Structure 1
């Protein structure tokens, strides 16, 4: 199984707006990215569908994207909502995929 590790520098996340800035820049979300968690879920669900054009980061079908969340404790302490949203929405991405007959795609790694 292929996996792609993407490092996220969480020290640059101070609020919900900066959360979306960091993820949009890291994953190359499209210009029409809605900068909310519904849009985040849509983009992250398509990580193995490069033709969807939702992200420039892709992995092969059945692959896993590991989010290496550097300094994640800072987000937890500074902006609990962004932290909670990240956890809940990552789980939702995987649940949504499994409900559609696909394998989970996200793995979170805390540093």
Structure 2
């Protein structure tokens, strides 16, 4: 079972990672100024991860595949790690679709 892990970065901003059941990070958020904005980001991931069209598949300059998850307004709400192949990236997208809707929230920002 996946989980969203919320942390505060060195600048005092809130970020979350979506982790798969094995503990691997499958999606990372931007920095949010408030905890409530971070919570809204998590809800947006839950909602938008069900729609394959919200996943923007990309290739980095080094040739590695990665994806962004976008909200309906086109804003990026999460980014993946770099993958060695497109097949691995597609597995990452499938993992986000599987884990995000029911993932628990582990708030480590306190």
**The two structures share one fold, judged by TM-score above 0.5:** no
Select the structure that is richer in helix.
1
Normalised TM-score (structure 1):
0.31
For normalisation by structure 2, the TM-score amounts to 0.31
Q: Counting strand residues as a fraction of each chain, which structure ranks higher?
A: 2
